[in-house]
Amino acid sequence: MSTAISIDGISKCYQIGLKAEKYLTLRDTIMSAIKSPFRRLAGLRGDGPQEGMFWALKDISFDVGRGEVMGIIGRNGAGKSTLLKILSRITEPTEGRAKLKGRVASLLEVGTGFHPELTGRENVYLNGAIMGMRKAEIDRKFDEIVAFAETEKFLDTPVKRYSSGMYVRLAFAVAAHLEPEILIVDEVLAVGDQEFQKKCLGRMQQVAQGDGRTVLFVSHNMGAVRNLCDRAVYLRNGEVDQIGETDSVVDAYLNSTISAEESDLLKRPRFPGFLHTLAKFTVIPPAGKARVVAGGQATFEFELDVKEPVHNACLGFMFNSDKGYRVLGLNSRLELRGVTLEPGRRTVRCKVDSLPLKPGRYVMDIEIRSNARPYDYVEHASVVDIEFDDFYGTGEMLWNYEGSVLHRATWEF
Amino acid sequence: MQAAPSPPATEAVPAEAPEFEIRPRSGWVAIDFKELMHYRELLYFLTWRDVKVRYKQTVLGFAWAIIQPVMTVIIQTVIFGTVAGFASRLPQELKDRHIPYSLFNYAGVLAWTLFATGVGSGGTSLMNQQNLLTKIYFPRLFVPTSVIAAAMVDTLISLAMFFVLMACYRVVPPWTIVLIPALLLMTALAAMGMAYVMASLTVTYRDFRFLLPFMVSTWMAISPVGYPLDPHRQWIRWLLRLNPMYGIINAFRSALLKQHWDFPGLAIAIAEVGAILVFGLYYFKKTERRFADIA
């Protein structure tokens, strides 16, 4: 198999100021120009210039063969998107080089360049041109694109009046009809309804297998990665942790020892009138495991900083799906009715034997009530990632439109 | 016409896939003309988008492209021409031929609006389209360029209105109007050069977003837009000629209204536009690789 992408020692360094604050002001530059003689001096002495530098990628090297589908996985901030941006030529590496053979199309966002005021038809042309298609090419594929997106009726409506689903469908349809030799896809499949997601995955599979194109695919959806990818790379803190067969890399990623997720809640904003009592939230995976999995055991730990006695209290937390639906709520009231909280630091634990939620990212809201009235409430207190696990024993998992709550059943036909 | 004969059927040679290398670059980065050619349709689409979007959801729609310059000229004719009395200070040669102040003013507004819109909107174009910079690769040069191309579309409409106004005043255009396309191009190139520099600066230092309007309005004050800037002292005139828009606006008036040609001024302007454009391209290409990281 010939090589389509060969990456050789790519590193990317951001100046913290650049990345965190997004932009410089003139003042910063003038100040740093004034200071720079001293910094240069410090640099010569060997104790200067490293501060304020952040290496998003460190010496990444691997090859991707022609026609191969390569998954890139890793936690947020591991450098996945930076790598894709470098390979898409959006940004340059600080060190190293990469060779790409063939026309490259990258899809880091659905609908890049879509203009809300323009109609669906106009946006297909604009977006197509931005992605590197010729007008003649778009003309030729126009009907196919529209059919794929299922938006025929709204072609002459400005896309600002589209539902978000329609918008995404149209945008993906344009991208799906690019004919690059190398396709670079960031997590764009996370949007859209499940049926359309399946259609997109199918299309990508067709692109890879049928047409023999090379695909680089970043995703948090381990199911999709396992399904689509021949091989996978696990990036961790900007470095290649594992590379190889998809299944073993995904397993390594899921089992990687990461500290339980925790969040400091005392400083989070509240509505006025709430006493800042919720101090910390931690998700503890079951013993011996690194992550919380669908249908698996999980313990939720809350640290409270109780400032005055709270009578008839209860503690509850709610899971919101990435679409914003509240899918599950747990509350001490249900099991214990009201309890009294004495002043002081205390830890509350809630253990769930089988967390019946499908894989995905959930946003947590946490509340304390006293005498049925809100006492403390932190919205979007934390995020919990639930990983795929073979809950049903068949490798199958609920599709989005089927619901979010897992439940086993016995079937007779 | 007969269709071109198809090439003889030979062994299908696999088209050699384009190969390119990604690596850190530094210093002067050459302009990739081949790539610009490949993406040329994108320039057209970006321009078309800017023109199209501007008048969407307005009742009068494209009519605004006509109303705007006409209103500007009417207001300036009243304020500058009548109230401030510039009409009486028109160059004698124009007065002798009964050229009204409104035409004199319009010729200046025409050139100035193209330049000012180009620099103003072109200078903020990268900042306003950050999402494009951070999500997809294409020649970034097209972002400010398309804004100026869109401003050119408005200018052409405005120019058509100028000729309508000329006809109303029964002023016969001189043969020199054939030079107008060249002058428009020169104005656009000046705007591009400035826009490339300002867009690169604005995307890095947001301070320039606030400085830009001051810069443009100060520039207007030293350009003969609404009034004849024709000092008697030679050294002041030479000073004014350092401003390329001085030479350009006067050249527009010469070509449209037969005002005497200020050839030294025009020559200086041509040299300066060339220099601005080259520096603009140089600075843009030099900073381009950082755009995605700081946008």
User: Looking at residue A318, what is its pLDDT?
Assistant: 93
Nearest-CB residue to B135 (from A23, A87, A109)? A109
**Looking at domain A262-402, what is its CATH homologous superfamily?**
abc- transporter (atp binding component) like domain (2.70.50.60)
User: Looking at residue A79, what is its pLDDT?
Assistant: 87
Q: Does A19 touch chain B (CB under 8 A)?
A: yes
Nearest-CB residue to A86 (from B22, B42, B138)? B22
In a domain, B140, yes or no: yes
For chain B, give the percent of residues with pLDDT over 70: 93
In a domain, B263, yes or no: yes
Nearest-CB residue to B20 (from A100, A106, A129)? A100
pLDDT at A88 over 50: yes
Confidence of residue A47 (pLDDT cuts 50, 70, 90): very low
Please say whether the structural domain A3-13+52-255 has been given the CATH code 3.40.50.300.
yes
Residue in chain B lying closest to A113 (CA): B132
Q: Does A227 touch chain B (CB under 8 A)?
A: no
CA distance between the termini of chain B = 52
- Shortest distance, CA A137 to any CA of chain B (angstroms): 12
pLDDT at A31 over 80: no
pLDDT at A90 over 70: yes
Which has the higher per-residue pLDDT, A27 or A62?
A: A62
Nearest-CB residue to B23 (from A97, A125, A134)? A97
Rounded Cα gap, residues B27 and B286, in angstroms = 6
pLDDT in tens, B33-89: 888 888 889 999 999 999 888 887 778 878 888 888 889 889 988 988 888 888 888
Mean pLDDT of A123-133: 89
Report the SS3 class of residue A230. coil
A158 contacts in chain B (CB < 8 Å): 56
pLDDT in tens, A297-326: 999 999 999 999 999 999 999 998 766 678
Rounded Cα gap, residues A247 and A83, in angstroms = 22
User: Looking at residue B63, what is its pLDDT?
Assistant: 84
- Shortest distance, CA A83 to any CA of chain B (angstroms): 12
Confidence of residue A27 (pLDDT cuts 50, 70, 90): low
A103 contacts in chain B (CB < 8 Å): 17-18
And the tokens for B101?
A: 């102040």
User: Looking at residue A309, what is its pLDDT?
Assistant: 92
pLDDT at A39 over 60: no
B22 contacts in chain A (CB < 8 Å): 86-87, 89, 92-93, 97-100
Among the residue ranges A57-61, A93-97, A100-104, the one predicted with the least confidence is: A100-104
pLDDT at A165 over 50: yes
pLDDT in tens, A205-247: 777 777 778 889 888 777 778 888 889 999 988 899 999 999 8
- Shortest distance, CA B275 to any CA of chain A (angstroms): 25
Which has the higher per-residue pLDDT, A138 or A322?
A: A138
Rounded Cα gap, residues A375 and A355, in angstroms = 27
pLDDT at A198 over 60: yes
Mean pLDDT of A131-140: 89
A27 contacts in chain B (CB < 8 Å): 207
pLDDT in tens, A354-395: 999 998 888 788 999 999 888 998 877 887 888 888 888 888
Rounded Cα gap, residues A122 and A113, in angstroms = 11
> CB atoms < 10 A from the CB of A117, how many?
16
CB-CB under 8 Å, A88 with B136: yes
Residue length, chain B?
295
Residue in chain B lying closest to A99 (CA): B21
Report the SS3 class of residue A334. helix
Q: Which of A190, A156, A160, A154 is nearest to A172 (CA)?
A: A190
Amino acid of residue A222: M
CB-CB under 8 Å, A131 with B136: yes
Mean pLDDT of B148-170: 93
In order, the DSSP letters of B28-40 are -----HHHHHHTH
B29 contacts in chain A (CB < 8 Å): none
pLDDT in tens, B178-221: 999 999 999 999 999 999 999 999 988 888 889 999 999 999 98
- Domain ranges in chain A? 3-13+52-255, 262-402
B17 contacts in chain A (CB < 8 Å): 101-103, 181
User: Looking at residue A191, what is its pLDDT?
Assistant: 57
CB-CB under 8 Å, B136 with A158: no
In order, the DSSP letters of B204-270 are HBTHHHHHHHHHHHHHHHTTTSSS----SSHHHHHHHHTSHHHHHHHHHHHHHH-PPP-HHHHHHHH
pLDDT at B5 over 60: no
Per-residue exposure over B162-193, b if at least 16 CB sit within 10 Å of its own CB, e if not: beebbeeeebebeeebebbeebbebbbbbbbb
Nearest-CB residue to B131 (from A112, A118, A131)? A112
pLDDT in tens, B220-267: 988 988 878 777 788 888 899 999 999 999 999 999 999 989 999 999
- For chain B, how many structural domains are there in total? 1
A14 contacts in chain B (CB < 8 Å): 293
Locate tokens 């198809």: which residue? B6
B292 contacts in chain A (CB < 8 Å): 85, 90-91
Rounded Cα gap, residues B161 and B70, in angstroms = 8
For chain A, give the percent of residues with pLDDT over 90: 30
Among the residue ranges A126-130, A177-181, A190-194, A289-293, the one predicted with the least confidence is: A190-194
Contact between A32 and A89 (Cβ < 8 Å): no
- Shortest distance, CA B197 to any CA of chain A (angstroms): 15
pLDDT at A339 over 80: yes
User: Looking at residue B250, what is its pLDDT?
Assistant: 94
CB-CB under 8 Å, A126 with B45: yes
Confidence of residue B2 (pLDDT cuts 50, 70, 90): very low
∠ CA(B135), CA(A189), CA(A209), 5° rounding?
Answer: 100
In a domain, B62, yes or no: yes
B57 contacts in chain A (CB < 8 Å): 117
Mutation target for A interface from B136, B207, B287, B289: give the one with most A CBs within 10 A: B136
* Structural domain span for residue B65: 33-294
pLDDT at A67 over 70: yes
For chain A, positions 109-168, list CB contacts with chain B under 8 A: 109, 112-113, 115, 117-118, 122, 125-126, 129-132, 134-135, 158
Q: Does B26 touch chain A (CB under 8 A)?
A: no
Confidence of residue A52 (pLDDT cuts 50, 70, 90): low
